[in-house]
Structure 1
Amino acid sequence: MRRLLLLVLAGAVALLAVGTGAGLAGHANALTRQRQELMRRATEQSQVLNDYFERSRSIMLITAQNPAFAALYDLPGTRDERIRSGGAVLRQANDAMDYLEKLYPGRIGEACFIDAAGAENARVVRGERAAIDDLSPDESGNPFFRPTFALRQGQVYQARPYVSPDTDEWVLANSTVVPSRDGVNHAIVHFEVTVESFREEAAAYGTGPMFVVDAQTGAVVIDTAQPQRIGAPLGAPTEHRFAGVVSGWKQSGQLTIGGRLAAYQRVDDTPGNANHWYAVALAPSPTNPLTGVGALAIVLVAVSLLLVAYVVAALWRGQLVLVRAANTDALTRLYNRRRLTADLTAGLRRATDSDPLLLILCDLNGFKVYNDTFGHPAGDALLTRLGGTLAAALAGRASAYRIGGDEFCVLARPGPDRISATIDTTVRALTERGDGFAITASHGAVLLPTEARDAAEALRLVDQRMYEQKTSGRVPADTQTTNALLRALHERDPQLTERMARTAELAGLVSDLLGLSAAERTRVRQAAQLHDIGKVAVPDSLLKQVPPLEPSDWEFIQQCPTIGERIMAAAPALAPLAPLIRSVRERFDGTGYPDRLSGDQIPLGARIIATCSALAAMTSPRAYAPARTTVNALAELHRAAGRQFDPRVVAALTEVLAAIGTDDRPELRPVTPHPA
């Protein structure tokens, strides 16, 4: 699998290299082509403007060479006298200016013949010739007036854009002095070309956004996409993208503005031209990393990335499996010693005296005998079962570990009120009983950081406490003796053994509910397992006889408790159970046997066993009666409460059954028989 993943990864890297290379090449080529196209457009537009300015200069000089303009000053008299007497000369001058409209149809604002004193000699506006009385007496305030009279003959002044007072349009003035024989600048001729005509000229020779930008301010003088309307501001006053960068521009160049590629070319600066402009070509849309990248390159990169992601995910999953395997016991699927050490170290950092970390170490008792008796496969199966039971019992509340052999650990933060309950739950989960065997658990517990400050000290202390309990004799000969007795009884009457096992399970739960100590609960449970042991002395024919019994037979049956007592007393390890077994057939009202004890005279453990035994018997099939339902049996116990059974015990058993649940079948929910 790893070799396959490496091959897939190598293929993915190769595809990625090919796709990336193709994509980068396509991207670079697309940007190069776009820059070249923009530069071509900017250069072309700059030349269009150069040509337009040059044409205007040439026409202006040709117009001024018309002899009518100089001839007016050859006439005698004052300026007013020459105007009024020079009809033919003025007609020729007006014809010359009117001809400009034919050269620039619809683009001329006005054309004027202006005296050095500022008065107009003639004026034509869109083909309309001004009457003598309508001529302006003073044009000296116009922006072109003084700069033009400062020129030498043969030069042209081209003014910056202004609003024509005659047409209200944005215009550029072209003006020059009228040649004279005496070399004195007596008058000038000028004509206005609309800015809109410049825009139309530029728009006619290009595609895409084009701008004419003032080289001094960065203001957009002409936007080829926006007509220059009468009454509107010049150009694009809201366009400020060039204001901060134009000062650093050279004769030509390229740049990026707002994510768009752009190219600029300076319009030629010529003597007398007050306009210093750049022609700027701007890409129609911003560039991005995918500009020029072909579909094939994208597909190759996408496929390679998917393959890389697959390989990474597979390797990550493999790594997780390795990490999980390194931290998990292969047999029980619980965490192992490595994980315990890590979790213990981390838990110690967070634990406090008010919220301690509980470490429990358990070692199984009887497992070696079980392993030797039933074989290692059965032993492995038992360890797996116990591990699963432990994990389920602690689910969501603690972490369980198998640290080797038959040793289990638990880490929990149960809070001060749940420490004992957590220990009891752990020990119960690691307890298993069956025909001919009993598995219990010796344990040690440590609270951290109260009793230890580091992981090594905690493990040493909990191990010491566990072995102290294991060697203290808490699981001694009583277990072995109990197993032997139960084995003998099981060989004779398996059903009786099963009923006693159910009795023991219920008695343990009722004892816990009634608040008996751990030692008392253990005695009650053991006594319940053996409470009918005296029946080993009763003949089979009598045990299976259908009631009613003969008086002599009944007298024999009533000897069972005392026989059981003697059997217990014969085994020193089981002697503490003898009083309970003797009194298990006493009745709460004092009519029982063998001692006719009543009420609290009967040991509480015996009262618990009697009630649980009756329920187990009624819900099991017998030779003389079919099994009852749990509900029916409980009803019978409640009817007999106060006479045969202790009402408090009956109530506790009812609560236990409600807690563990029943399905109202003839038997309780299955309970595993426990010999000890």
Structure 2
Amino acid sequence: MGRRVFDKATTPVILKIDQPPCILHMIRIRKSIRLKVIVMFLLVGVLPMVGSSLYLYQNSQEALENDAFNILGRLVDQSNRAVEDTFQEAGQVLLLTSHNPAFVRYFNEPEKRQEWLNEIQKALGEIQGLFQGSLREACLIRKDGKELGKVVNAQIFPAPDLDADESDQIFFKAGLAGNRGEVYQGEPYFSEDAREWVIPFATPIVLPDGKKVALLHLELSLSYLKDILSERQRGWMGIGDLFIVDDQGRFLTHTDPRIQTLGKLNLPNALDANSSPGWRRMIQEMVDGKIGFQKEVIKNRLSYVHYQPTMTSETSNIFWSTGTVVPVDRVQASADSSDYL
């Protein structure tokens, strides 16, 4: 083939045409509009959605916290009422039993004393049956301190085993000092007969002429309080612990099985259970009879805590406090916060 030769006249020429300024301006406007649309979409659509989600999430956390505090408040309040109702029932049973004619006739009819003593022992046994095994002892003590009849753990004590002098017991003088129809509730103590910590109740036996001749006495086991708290604890999925502290800072009972009071000669010191500042602050305020409702770091875990005084008796100067501790993460785990994201 021959060599192709391009003539200058036929060689293609590429022309460079400058765009008019108006076209460039329109392109810039389109880019600017696109950017503005994107920005407006973010401002009007995405960002408010994110903000709303964060707002709802924050509100949900506040609502969860308020619900937790409300539940803890009801939990402690119901526990207190159950304990107070138990004490009131013990006092009512004691007064009702003291109205049994056998107690007065035992002193007014010496010739039938054994007959009336049998009736007294029967009445003491019936008291224990009313408390489903939580009553450890019921007894009649003469005003000089001699036990006349006693039932311990549903067993009647024979006469040779009765104590000759109970007048040195704390409840004795205080109970005998009361008037007809009054019940004394004393501080818990370790019962040698029951071999555990008990709460004493006592009321005087008064003859028709007003003479005080004896003291009717019963002992309620501290372990019964644990049953009361454990039942309330199970009502809220068993989360957290419930416990009662006395005015000396001792655990009277605790739902944690590792903290035992049954069979111990000394009640455990609540301050020894944990060294964290939040725990020690809470226990001190409970001892001081204050009401608390806040978050504290307990055992390196942020926890909800609530505590309030327990009314033990209108006639005694006994001050207890019921408290609960629930880790925050265990409460939050029960709620699905992802709905707000």
TM value normalised by structure 1: 0.39
* Equivalent residue letter for 2:233: G
For 1:234 and 1:101, locate their aligned partners in 2 and report how far apart those are by CA, in whole Å. Answer: 25
Determine the C-alpha separation between the residues in 1 that align with 2:199 and 2:340: 52
Provide the residue aligned with 2:310 in structure 1. Answer: 267
What is the letter of the counterpart of residue 169 of structure 1? E
Q: Which residue does the alignment assign to 1:245?
A: 285
Distance 1:132 1:37 in 2: 52
Q: Is the 8 A contact 1:158 1:273 kept in 2?
A: yes
Residue 250 of structure 2, aligned match among 201, 219, 222: 219
Alpha-carbon contact 2:249-2:269 (below 8 Å) kept: no
After superposition, the C-alpha distances for 1:554-612 in whole angstroms (9 at most, x for unaligned) are xxxxxxxxxxxxxxxxxxxxxxxxxxxxxxxxxxxxxxxxxxxxxxxxxxxxxxxxxxx
Corresponding position: 1:41 with 2:75: yes
**Alpha carbons of 1:108 and 1:269: their partners in 2 closer, same or farther (altered >3 Å)?**
closer
Residue 277 (str. 1) matches residue 310 (str. 2): no
Number of positions where the alignment pairs a residue of Structure 1 with one of Structure 2 = 289
**Cα displacement (A) at 1:170:** 1.0
Letter in 1 for 2:285: V
| Counterpart residue number, 1:65 | 99
Matched ranges for 1:344-493 at <5 A: none
SS of corresponding position for 1:210:
strand
Q: 1:124 aligns with which of 114, 136, 151?
A: 151
Alignment of 1:651-670 (within 5 A): none
Letter in 2 for 1:107: S
- After TM superposition, give the deviation of residue 249 of structure 1 in Å: 5.0
Code of the residue aligned with 1:282 in structure 2: it is: V
SS in 1 for 2:178: coil
CA distance in structure 2 between the partners assigned to 1:154 and 1:167 by the alignment = 27
Alignment correspondent of 1:22: 56
Matched residue SS, 1:246: helix
Mapped to 1, the partners of 2:335 and 2:155 lie a distance apart of 56
- What amino acid is aligned across from residue 65 of structure 2 in structure 1? L
Structure 2: how far apart are the matches of 1:260 and 1:245?
Answer: 16
Secondary structure of the structure 2 residue equivalent to 1:112: strand
Whose helix fraction is larger, Structure 1's or Structure 2's?
A: 1
Q: Match of 1:46, as an amino acid?
A: N
Q: Secondary structure at the residue paired with 2:136?
A: strand
Aligned to 1:234: 267
Are 1:160 and 1:274, in contact at CA under 8 Å, matched by a contact in 2? Answer: no
Could you give the per-residue CA deviations for residues 97-126 of structure 1, whole angstroms, max 9, x where no partner exists?
011121123222111111111111111112
What amino acid does structure 1 have at the position aligned with 2:242?
A: M
Instruction: For structure 1, list consecutive stretches of 5 or more residues without a partner in the other structure.
Output: 77-81, 299-676
- Sequence identity, in percent? 22
Residue 149 (structure 1) aligned with residue 176 (structure 2): yes
Structure with larger Rg: 1
Alpha carbons of 1:32 and 1:179: their partners in 2 closer, same or farther (altered >3 Å)? same
Q: Indicate if the aligned counterparts of 2:79 and 2:228 stay in contact, CA closer than 8 A.
A: no
Q: Give the whole-Å Cα distance in 2 for the aligned partners of 1:262 and 1:249.
A: 15
Deviation at 1:181, TM superposition (A): 1.6
Q: Match for 2:296: what amino acid?
A: I
Could you tell me which runs of 5 or more consecutive residues in structure 2 were left unpaired when the two chains were aligned. 1-30
What letter is aligned with 2:183? V
Q: CA RMSD in A?
A: 2.9
Contact kept? 2:188, 2:199, Cα under 8 Å: yes
Q: 1:153: Cα distance to partner?
A: 1.3
- Secondary structure of 1:97 counterpart: helix
Pairing partner for 1:178 from 169, 183, 205: 205
Pairing 1:101–2:119 present: no
Q: How does 1:240-639 map to 2 (within 5 A)?
A: 241=279, 242-246=282-286, 250=290, 253-258=292-297, 259-286=302-329, 294-298=337-341
C-alpha displacement at 1:286, in angstroms? 4.7
Aligned to 1:663: none
Distance 1:7 1:151 in 2: 82
Distance 1:100 1:62, change over 3 A: same
C-alpha spacing 1:253/1:98, structure 2 compared with 1 (3 Å): same
Q: Which has the higher strand share?
A: 2
SS of match in other structure, 1:270: coil
**TM-score, normalising length from structure 2?**
0.75
Match of 2:15 in 1: none
- Distance in 2 (CA, whole Å) between partners of 1:175 and 1:127 is 19
Which amino acid letter does the alignment assign opposite residue 320 of structure 2? W
Equivalent residue of 2:324, what SS?
strand
Shift of the 235–42 alpha-carbon distance from structure 1 to 2, 3 Å rule, reads: farther
